[in-house]
Amino acid sequence: MSSGNTKLSQVLLFPSSGMAHLVPFVRLANALSDRGISISLLTVRPTITAAESSLLSSLPSSLLIDFPLAPLDPSLFPESSDPVTLRWEAIRRSAHLLPSLISTLSPPVSSLIIDITIASAFLPVAVAANIPCFVFFISFASMLALCSVFPFVPRPIGTNINIAGGVLKIPYSSIPPPLRDPNNLFTTQFIENGRALTLANGVIVNTFLALEPELLAAFSAGEVVPEFPPVIALGPLPLEKKQPSSPSPAVRWLDEQPEKSVIYVNFGSCSVLSMEQIRELGAGLEMSGCRFLWVVKTAKVDRDEKAVEIEELLGEGYVKRVEERGLVVRKWVEQDVVLVHRAVAGFLCHSGANSVMEAAAAGLKILAWPRRADQMVIAASVPRSGLGIWPENWACEAEKRIVAAEEIALKVREFMADEKLAKSAAKLRAAATAAVQEGGTSDQSLRYLITKLAQLCLKWRNQLVLPSFSTFGPPVDLCNFKSTQK
């Protein structure tokens, strides 16, 4: 990533927290700087996860600007609060610090691209400071649709949610579980962010037309929310250019496997299976007889990961029994490299938005097993787009039900043998490739964004004035969580 050539002003990108946010922001930053837009990334350090820290340290330090946090009293929130959601909250409550930071930056900031999770706190600040602000919605258009209508859905939610006259139907069981609790911190943030979206100059989404055609059309027609800002669907964003200097053990192992023989199993950066489910999955993969590369996590935050041996997790003798055809790893793998490896034929995946988009770009079929958050909404797009299958009876995290080894083995075998699915996934890759090629729908969206940002740079240059910042107080205090949360 370079800082581009438009040095008279810059675009400030602000990912909030979590790898699922940082990864697409870095990809977007790359895409913009490749087209001559001068960019910087606002970061909050230390990061919550080691993976974020490692990704940030791979970027030129001159592109990173530290954003200060106002103190946040953690005792206001339940102890069980998700650390990433709490970090979002800390950033949101520090939005008033943005103008003074921006006033010190050179070149001056001509526009902002902020993460959806902090939108309702930062959009009013940007509007008051007269700085154009785009929101980057890092998930799919289906989640964007849910986010934008959710503030207007009667609560408590007790039923399915129909969007744009039924263009998108989200069953109650797929609604992200925290949203069913009106007192959850995530719910409050989600509602406020959804409501604030109309203040944005545009909403960027890492999806493409062939993946969510009806919904993207409904957004354009104003059928999701009237007067909604332009939805800029520019996915799949290009992957990082920098490959690790030496391949990891996982990739070296893949190098030794036959063509299109391996199922890659990874539940993403922050989803964890129970110990019992890990053992059933281990037994299921073994029973399936298929070759597999499996990344096992036992903690939501990688820094909390205990040095538990694989044998301790999966039982004595497991590694030896599967060594001819299975590799279990406990570390982060370079997924962008794994997904396009010639030995990989399928992806058992939690349906994180980035993982699904990366698989679509690679034309790799998915066996979806969503666990939490937006994963059930994303998983629905897997069969819908022909990218893969979703056995809907496989339990998510909240259900606490265990999917048995025999059932996993059977499904994995069927999935790996399914040639028709491999072909339809390859077809989706062709559509993804066409979308980002010159003149494709995503390429046009990226050009639209670049033109807008470049115009804003020019406007800035011609005006040659700095914004007049008024003093912003902290955002209105959100409800008092301590007394309302369980």
State which of positions 220-279 bind ligand UDP (CB under 6 A): 266, 268-271
Residue nearest to ligand UDP (CB): 352
Give yes or no: 115 in active site: yes
Report the residue number, 23 or 161, with the smaller CB distance to ligand UDP: 23
One of 13, 20, 141, 362 touching ligand UDP (CB under 6 A): 20
One of 277, 354, 385, 445 touching ligand UDP (CB under 6 A): 354
Region from 115-123, 148-156, 332-340, 437-445 binding ligand UDP, contact rule CB under 6 A: 332-340
335 binds ligand UDP (CB under 6 A): yes
Report the residue number, 307 or 476, with the smaller CB distance to ligand UDP: 307
Which residue in 73, 96, 115, 443 is the catalytic one?
115
Write the interaction track for ligand UDP spanning residues 137-176; mark x where CB under 6 A is met and - where it is not. ----------------------------------------
Report the residue number, 271 or 442, with the smaller CB distance to ligand UDP: 271
Residue 244: count of CB within 10 angstroms of its CB:
11
368 binds ligand UDP (CB under 6 A): no
Give yes or no: 21 in active site: yes
One of 1, 11, 19, 113 touching ligand UDP (CB under 6 A): 19
Shortest CB 352 distance to ligand UDP, Å: 2
Shortest CB 303 distance to ligand UDP, Å: 15
Shortest CB 471 distance to ligand UDP, Å: 36
Shortest CB 20 distance to ligand UDP, Å: 3
Shortest CB 296 distance to ligand UDP, Å: 10
23 binds ligand UDP (CB under 6 A): yes
One of 33, 188, 189, 355 touching ligand UDP (CB under 6 A): 355
One of 286, 358, 364, 435 touching ligand UDP (CB under 6 A): 358
Region from 55-63, 157-165, 299-307, 347-355 binding ligand UDP, contact rule CB under 6 A: 347-355
Task: Say how far apart CA 197 and CA 136 lie, in whole Å.
Answer: 11
Of 312, 308, 282, the closest CA to residue 403 belongs to 282
| Residues annotated catalytic, as ranges | 21, 115
- Residues lying near ligand UDP in the complex (CB under 6 A) are found at 19-20, 23, 266, 268-271, 295, 332-336, 350, 352-355, 358
